C-alpha cells in the first residue's frame, strides 16, 4: 500500500489538474494499492491538517479543467519558520500531519517559493517529489514548466486583438504581460504576437531608445506601435538602484504599474496617444492548451514512476526534450531568467524588435 499526499501551492495556472491526473493514473495502472490524500489550499492544508481522501473519480474529467481541484494559496518561504498567529510551528505541524497519515510521499506542484519549502521538508526527512508549475517558466532545472505555453497563448491572443484597434486609430498600445522577475512570457508572447518593442526585467530599458524605435516606425510609414511590457520591466536608471532603494521608489510610484509610467513618458516626450491593456489574471485562467495537457500528463506519469520505485527528493523536469529527474537541492532558491545574449533575443533583434536598450 502506498499512501500519497498531494498539494498545489502558489499562484494557480492551467494544467495543474492534468499533472495530478497523470500521477494518479500512473499509480492506478500499477499493481500497487494506493491511497491519495489531497491537502486543500496548498501548504496551508498540510499545516492545519485540512485534507480529504481522493478517489479515481476525483481525477476523472479534469484533464481540460483549469485551476486546481485542491485549491491553492501562497505561503511565503521567508515566513515558513515563523510561528503563525496562534503560535503554531508551521514546519513541525507539516511533519506531524505527514506522519499522522503515515504517508509514503508528498507530491507537491508549484513554482519557486513552493520548491524552497519542498526542499526544506526534504531536509527535515520527508519523502518529496515535485512538479514544475508556473506561467513564468522561471524555475531552475527545467527547460519548460506547465502553464507557460497556455499563458503564452492567452497573452498572444491579447496582442493579436490589440493590433486591429492600434492600426485603426494609429495609436501606441502597451500590453502588460505577467512576469515580475523573468521575461520568458513577455518575450515569447511578444514575438508570437508581432510586438514592435518588448521590455523585460533582464534588459533594462532607456526611454529615449523606445522613442527612437517608435519614430523609426513612423518614418517607415507605420503609424502604430505595439509594445509588450513585462510587469517587472525596469529602466536603466532604476536598475542602478539598490534593492532597498528600488522597493522604496515603487512604494511612492504614482502610476499603477511600469506600463503606465512608460506610457506617460512616451506621451510627454512625443505628444502621441498611448493606451495600456492589462490582461492580468486571464493569463492564468481557462483550459490548458493541448501542449500543456500532454506535457503535464507526461510529468505526472514520470512522478508516479518515481513513487513506485521509491525515488524521492526530485523535481520531475524537462531538459533537451526529455523528461528528467532533478535533485530538489539543485532547484530550490534558483531563478531561471532570460539571458540578454540568448539566441532568441538576438533573433528577435534581427527582425527589428527593439528591447529599449
Q: β-strands 314-319, 322-327: how paired?
A: antiparallel
Judged by phi (left if over 0) then psi (alpha if -120 to 50, else beta), residue 194 lies in left
H or E segment to which residue 106 belongs = strand 105-110
Secondary structure (DSSP) of 116-135: HHHHHHHHTT--EEEEEB-T
DSSP structural state of residue 210: H
Residue in 12, 58, 136, 196 annotated catalytic: 136
317 and 323 Cβ atoms separated by less than 8 Å: yes
Q: Is 93 exposed, middle or buried, given 0-12, 13-18 or 19+ CB atoms closer than 10 A? A: middle
Name the nearest CA neighbour of 104 among 32, 49, 56: 32
Q: Is 50 exposed, middle or buried, given 0-12, 13-18 or 19+ CB atoms closer than 10 A? A: middle
201 and 230 Cβ atoms separated by less than 8 Å: yes
SS3 205: strand
Query: How far apart (Å, rounded) are the C-alpha atoms in residues 338 and 93?
Result: 37
Contacts of 67 (CB under 8 A, 6+ apart): 12, 16, 17, 285
The question of whether 138 is a catalytic residue gets the answer: no
The torsion angles phi and psi of 340, rounded to 5 degrees, stand at -55, -20
- Alpha-helical (H) ranges within the chain are 16-28, 43-48, 90-100, 112-123, 148-169, 184-192, 207-219, 236-239, 243-251, 258-270, 290-309, 328-331, 343-350
Name the nearest CA neighbour of 332 among 139, 94, 198: 139
| Residue numbers annotated as active site | 136
Amino acid at each position: 500500500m502506498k499512501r500519497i499526499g498531494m498539494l498545489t501551492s502558489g499562484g494557480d495556472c492551467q494544467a495543474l489538474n492534468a499533472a495530478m491526473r497523470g500521477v494518479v493514473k500512473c499509480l492506478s495502472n500499477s499493481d500497487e494499492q494506493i491511497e491519495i490524500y489531497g491537502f486543500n489550499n496548498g501548504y496551508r492544508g498540510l499545516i492545519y491538517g485540512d485534507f480529504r481522501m481522493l478517489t479515481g473519480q476525483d481525477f476523472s474529467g479534469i484533464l481540460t479543467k483549469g485551476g486546481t481541484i485542491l485549491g491553492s494559496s501562497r505561503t511565503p518561504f521567508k515566513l515558513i519558520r515563523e510561528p503563525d498567529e496562534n503560535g503554531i510551528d508551521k514546519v513541525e505541524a507539516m511533519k506531524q500531519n505527514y506522519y499522522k497519515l503515515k504517508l509514503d510521499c508528498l507530491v507537491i506542484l508549484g513554482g519557486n517559493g513552493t520548491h524552497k519549502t519542498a526542499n526544506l521538508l526534504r531536509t527535515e526527512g520527508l519523502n518529496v517529489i515535485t512538479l514544475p508549475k508556473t506561467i513564468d517558466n522561471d524555475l531552475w532545472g527545467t527547460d519548460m514548466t506547465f502553464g507557460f505555453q497556455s499563458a503564452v497563448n492567452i497573452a498572444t491572443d491579447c496582442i493579436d486583438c490589440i493590433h486591429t484597434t492600434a492600426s485603426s486609430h494609429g495609436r501606441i498600445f502597451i500590453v502588460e504581460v505577467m512576469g515580475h522577475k523573468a521575461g520568458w512570457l513577455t518575450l515569447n508572447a511578444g514575438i508570437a504576437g508581432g510586438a514592435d518593442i518588448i521590455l523585460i526585467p533582464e534588459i533594462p530599458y532607456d526611454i529615449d531608445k523606445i522613442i527612437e524605435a517608435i519614430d523609426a516606425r513612423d518614418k517607415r510609414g507605420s503609424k502604430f506601435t505595439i509594445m509588450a511590457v513585462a510587469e517587472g520591466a525596469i529602466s536603466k536608471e532604476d536598475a542602478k538602484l539598490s534593492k532597498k532603494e528600488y522597493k522604496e521608489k515603487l512604494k511612492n510610484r504614482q502610476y499603477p504599474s511600469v506600463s503606465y509610467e512608460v506610457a506617460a513618458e512616451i506621451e510627454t516626450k512625443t505628444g502621441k496617444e498611448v493606451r495600456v491593456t492589462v490582461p492580468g489574471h486571464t493569463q492564468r485562467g481557462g483550459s490548458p492548451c493541448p501542449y500543456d495537457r500532454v506535457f503535464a500528463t507526461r510529468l505526472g506519469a514520470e512522478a508516479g514512476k518515481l513513487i513506485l520505485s521509491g525515488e524521492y527528493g526530485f523535481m520531475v523536469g524537462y531538459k533537451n526534450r526529455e523528461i528528467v529527474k532533478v535533485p530538489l537541492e539543485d532547484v530550490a532558491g534558483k531563478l531561471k531568467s532570460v539571458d540578454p545574449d540568448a539566441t532568441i533575443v538576438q533573433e528577435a533583434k534581427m527582425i527589428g524588435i527593439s528591447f529599449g536598450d
